[in-house]
Amino acid sequence: MDTIETKRLLLREWQPQDLAPFAAINQDPLVMEHYWIKSLTESETAAMIERIQKNFAKYGFGLFACIVKETSQFIGYVGLHVPTFTAHFTPAVEIGWRLASSAWCKGYATEAAYAVLKAAFEKYNLKEVVSFTVPMNQRSRRVMEKIGMTYNPKDDFCRPEIPLDSPLSHHVLYRITKEQFMQSSHE
């Protein structure tokens, strides 16, 4: 499997020692605030890691384990994912991240997401990448904007697996094409 390296981060394949810190991240109420599932057990986290690894084998890309190079600390994931639900924009490839709350506000998500987006277009030859979240998740929306993604309210959608009466049903969609990324990254 590939690795992606930035100035401060290493995005790599998952290793057994990642389970415990990832399980802790998946049980942090701050991290899980905008997710329909509010907490994952260690066994649910292990199953998630297994699905991530299968997606790497299936698609050639996926959600990378994110490591701070200076400390070798696992801080979550950043990568690409193929959504399993049906919406007006699927099939699609999504860029996403889930980082420990202790790693927030340090620019890690933006740094890693930009590197993943670059790989999506230059290495995996994708034509478009999307990202989505609930409207109130301003931190993730800022990352989407910082990496050059754009938002159009006409693309808003409701996640089909979440009941419509839930405040987490409505989602905003951001997009970026390969052409847009290449233009913005060479200016």
Domain assignment of residue 41, given as a range: 4-185
What is the count of structural domains for the chain? 1
Exposed, middle or buried: residue 24 (CB in 10 Å: 0-12, 13-18, 19+)?
middle
Paired residues of 171 in beta bridges: 157
Beta bridge partners of 9: 68
Instruction: Indicate the burial class of 104 (C-beta count within 10 angstroms; 0-12, 13-18, 19 or more).
Output: middle
Per-residue pLDDT of 140-179, as tens digits, reads 999 999 999 999 999 999 999 999 999 999 999 999 999 9
Measured distance CA(81)–CA(123) in Å, rounded: 15
Instruction: Report the CATH number at residue 142.
Output: 3.40.630.30
* Residues facing 63 on adjacent strands: 79
pLDDT band per the 50, 70, 90 thresholds, residue 185: low
47-100 pLDDT, tens digit per residue, is: 999 999 999 999 999 999 999 999 999 999 999 999 999 999 999 999 999 999
